[in-house]
Amino acid sequence: MEILIGFYPWIKAFHIMSVIAWMAALFYLPRLYVYHSETVGLQGETHALFQTMEYKLLKVIMNPAMIATWVFGLLLASIPGVIDWGAIWPWTKLIGILAMSGFHGWLGAQRKAFAAGGPIKTGRQYRMMNEVPTLLMVLIVLSVVVKF
């Protein structure tokens, strides 16, 4: 994959932009679930509006951003010399990314639960889950920047 060396800055830039979009959605969707579960309920026009917002956030923004993050990240990882696989940091980053992807999947399952009419979590539970992407982001950024 040495041909990618010349494209390194471009790949890295698109990776960063994809991560920003993905993280924004990962922060916002659980917040929508908090409001949906606490004030909207599972019936009525506002429920239908929240269903549309949650669906579009997941399908139009979050899923493509995650896919782009993975594609550009894998391209970066395939460039010779970018990652020292003998170090610990790539593995801690990978664990964080896999956990973030799992959280993404959990959010998708929660959207389906709202669409099916339940069961759903409480607003407090969604608030607590809203901290997961923050903790994973800290692990990932420290892994890459500090390279522990």
Residue 1 predicted with pLDDT over 80: no
Assess contact for 61 and 108: CB atoms under 8 A. Answer: no
What confidence tens digit (pLDDT) does each residue in 37-59 have?
A: 999 988 899 999 999 999 999 99
Residue 136 predicted with pLDDT over 80: yes
pLDDT at site 135:
98
pLDDT at site 8:
96
Label residue 70 by pLDDT band (50, 70, 90): very high
Domain spans of the chain? 2-41+55-146
DSSP calls for 67-121: HHHHHHHHHHHHSTTS--TTSSHHHHHHHHHHHHHHHHHHHHHHHHHHHHT----
- Mean pLDDT in residue range 68-91: 96
Output the average pLDDT for the chain: 96
pLDDT at site 2:
82
- Mean pLDDT in residue range 10-29: 98
- Mark residue 41 as left, alpha or beta (left: phi above 0; alpha: psi -120 to 50; beta: remaining): left
Secondary-structure breakdown of the chain: helix, strand, coil percentages, each rounded to the nearest 5: 85, 0, 15
pLDDT at site 92:
98
